[in-house]
Structure 1
Amino acid sequence: MASQLSWLDSSRAEQQRMRELLNMFSEQESRDELGIGQVRDAFGDLLFPGTSTLHTRARYLLIVPWCFQHASRRPDRDQAVEVDRVERVVISALRTAGATEGLIGRRASTGVKTLPSTIYASALHTYGIDGGIELAAASRDTEAAELTELRTDRWPATLPRSPAGFPEAVDMGLDLTQQEADWLRERILTSTAGTLLAHLLQAGNRPEDDAAEPWRVSAVGSASERVRTDLEYARAFSTCMQGAALLYNLILAEEYEKAGHDRIEPPDYREALARWAERMATVAPWDRADMWSRLIAINPRIDTNLRARAFIEAWIDLVLAGRADGAAEDVELRDLVARREKTVKKTQSRLVNSKLLRGWTGASGSRRLVYRWPQVRRMLTDIHDGMEATGAVAA
């Protein structure tokens, strides 16, 4: 069934989390097997407000409003249906033009289920592009359709105009023009001041293409003390908690072999844990009370998620006390991780569900947390490309 759009008061954050959760089930390395996703996402929001693992290209922050504006020119039509149609016309136009890098619908074409207006709804609101009105995916009803019809023109007066021929043609594809890049940059800077995202949007702070993690970007060194502290907390948390994920996968690998399964050959998690222990040497104890304070300010629910916080604190206490070396054989660490996975997954735990263990793919949430960085870096690159084009023209 095609996605329908309406203006609703439902929680943007909850809808976005659910879409990202569903997406993660198709990405074995991103799964939250130990129930720390709430904290991970709070770090993502702290560093990069409005972003999502589902985002692909920055120009969608303009393409979505253009679709709504175009649909509003046909007030005789159901606006939710018309927006849906226009978005699919855009997908077809971009595919025809060969603008497929980051294209939503690259594989499914116009049959894609989740449209850009759904994926970018939270970002549009966070950056003040939607005029303060919440965009949400929902099954259409009379009241929702009326709200859609009344409010589709509520976009900033300064919004750059859609290219000539839109939506049947999209000049520049998914690349930003100089005007568009400057406009988006100002919107995001204004709405996310004091964050790493805003800092990396400053002229000259373009992230390096080979910076696989946000803390490896050279421009970080010139950020404010507040931003650098946010990022250091995120780095330390990521490094510490990857050990728990690796140990969980080691336990699974042992159980998998013990059960006689041989469909896949798991990675060498003992070696991975040894390399992780070496990285732990770069992590010193930090002000975790301050870290929790900052995260709870982003998501107050973390304050009442006592089991997750207790697990995280217990793990960090142990590995910072020198237990990272030898983690593969540490009975207390192994028990801590196994109990946590069983608590989180219950009957879906691979450690108790033999069917799920048999279907294990060899890696479950074992990558280091980078807080949406691949998607954020792509969006930043798009905007910096446009900004630099401005300089080239001026020159």
Structure 2
Amino acid sequence: MGWTYLSREALARAKAQMDEESMGVRDEIGFLTIHQRYADRFFPGTSVLHTRARYIIFVPWLFEDLAGLTGPAAVRALRERERELAGRLKDVGESQVIGGRVFPKPSSQPPSTVYWNALAVWGILRPRLDGRTISRAQAHRLLKSAGAATDDDGQPLLSFDPPFVPLPERPDNWRGGHITLRLATAEAAFLRERLAQLRRNGGHELSLLARLVRTEAAAPPGMWAAEARAIAGPDQAALVRAQQAASLAGVGRAVYDALLERILETDDKRETSTRHRDHLAAIVEEHGAVAAKLDVDALEADTGALPLKLRAVLTATKDWIASKSWNPAPLFGVYAAAEARKGPRARLALTPNGRARRLEWSSDEHGLAGPLHYRWEQVSTLLNDLADAE
């Protein structure tokens, strides 16, 4: 099982699940839709599982080192090389090592999985003739084909485009010795050249990530900082709406938790704390004013049409904030309707299934709700890695 590459569809499902888990809670109401769409607009190719920028170069180097292998042999060899790399990085004290926590076991989400989409989006992995992203198995086959048949001078008899664009030179310590996650100057220049060309949603406008990379500076102090807004160009208004949407989703997630806590107490007759109900008041105090400014029509113009039940939640939550009632009970119907997409897994449902799902939920163990983050932590690390190259 560990030696089988996932299909594109399976990887897409896994990506969605990992994004949900990164939010600290399951995405019961659908706020993750907003998170993913704005994150992909501003920072194409990024993922919540990205750690350090140098992995985007490590992965194609690993593949090229294994040229000649295909099928299960290539999968096994890559798995072992990625495991060894995790150990070498841990040995020098790196703290953001993919697979570092489980070493010496191999990671279930190795760098070649985590960064494959970025390799394609950032123009390092060549696309197929039909424009689709090649799979890792296809990359192994292309690398084998590229060196398979040569003439007397060692030149290939047939022309094959290798899967990766020309890469920076490998350092002397690539095959052995101490290696770190700090980019070399040439590696940073290689990445900057590609990231600086990234367009928003495949269109003509530069993405916010490209604009940030072009400054050649470290990351701004926050996604909403004046420095980020100043260079956002045509995305300035969308960036303001993204902040408003992030705050509204944070309030909405807190509303969901407060409603659930209330049902446990009033309908299920279970003793529970008021932790999430207290937090709702705090998050409305901190984020309510910004959240209430969101224009939902303009949000959809930025991100595309939202599911109708999610749109209803956003609108109702905005109205609830404006009412200053602080009692989330009037929102129960619209939130329960949105969560109904989860079927028997819905916790707000006043059914035997809903009650069974609520038995699995603990108020004290469940994380407190917060705003959407749009992968800013990962983007900040990427920008700082580029700025700190040596």
TM-score by length of 1: 0.79
The count of aligned residue pairs is 359
Higher relative contact order (CA 8 A, sep 6+): 1
Letter in 1 for 2:165: P
Q: Give the direction of change, closer, same or farther, for the CA distance of 1:28–1:358 in structure 2 (3 Å limit).
A: farther
Report the equivalent of 2:380: 377
Report the equivalent of 2:212: 200
1:18 aligns with 2:13: yes
Partner Cα distance (1:25, 1:279) in 2:
21
Q: Give the direction of change, closer, same or farther, for the CA distance of 1:30–1:55 in structure 2 (3 Å limit).
A: farther
Q: Give the direction of change, closer, same or farther, for the CA distance of 1:268–1:294 in structure 2 (3 Å limit).
A: closer
Report the equivalent of 1:96: 91
1:66 aligns with 2:61: yes
Q: Give per-residue Cα distances to partners, 1:306-365, cap 9 Å, x unaligned.
A: 434542453355247x23x2242452x232223322x12221112232232122133368
Assess if the C-alpha contact under 8 Å between 2:56 and 2:115 holds in 1: yes
RMSD of aligned residue pairs (Cα, Å): 3.1
Deviates more, 1:87-96 or 1:121-130: 87-96
Report the equivalent of 1:222: 230
SS in 1 for 2:81: helix
List aligned pairs for 1:235-250, cutoff 5 A.
Answer: 235-250=243-258
Report the equivalent of 1:234: 242
Report the equivalent of 1:2: 2
CA apart distance, 1:41: 0.6
SS in 2 for 1:2: coil
Q: Give the direction of change, closer, same or farther, for the CA distance of 1:167–1:360 in structure 2 (3 Å limit).
A: farther
1:255 aligns with 2:256: no
Report the equivalent of 1:340: 338
1:315 aligns with 2:316: yes
Partner Cα distance (1:252, 1:286) in 2:
25
Assess if the C-alpha contact under 8 Å between 1:125 and 1:132 holds in 2: yes
Assess if the C-alpha contact under 8 Å between 2:142 and 2:163 holds in 1: no
TM-score by length of 2: 0.80
Which blocks of at least 5 consecutive residues in structure 1 are unaligned? 297-302, 390-395
Partner Cα distance (1:79, 1:50) in 2:
25
Assess if the C-alpha contact under 8 Å between 1:248 and 1:337 holds in 2: yes
* Percent identical residues: 23
| One of 67, 74, 77 as aligned partner of 1:79 | 74
Partner Cα distance (2:71, 2:219) in 1:
46
Assess if the C-alpha contact under 8 Å between 2:143 and 2:163 holds in 1: no
Which blocks of at least 5 consecutive residues in structure 2 are unaligned? 147-160, 200-204
Partner Cα distance (1:278, 1:72) in 2:
54
SS in 2 for 1:56: coil
List aligned pairs for 1:7-156, cutoff 5 A.
Answer: 11=8, 14-23=9-18, 29-72=24-67, 78-99=73-94, 101-109=95-103, 110-133=105-128, 134-136=133-135, 146=141, 149-150=144-145, 153-156=162-165
Partner Cα distance (2:23, 2:70) in 1:
44
CA apart distance, 1:40: 1.9
Letter in 2 for 1:236: Q
Q: Give per-residue Cα distances to partners, 1:260-318, cap 9 Å, x unaligned.
A: 545x745242453354145322356455434323312xxxxxx4x54345424533552
Q: Give per-residue Cα distances to partners, 1:153-198, cap 9 Å, x unaligned.
A: 42222x1122224244453x11111221121111111124622212
CA apart distance, 1:236: 1.1
CA apart distance, 1:367: 1.8
Q: Give the direction of change, closer, same or farther, for the CA distance of 1:35–1:25 in structure 2 (3 Å limit).
A: closer
Assess if the C-alpha contact under 8 Å between 1:67 and 1:167 holds in 2: no
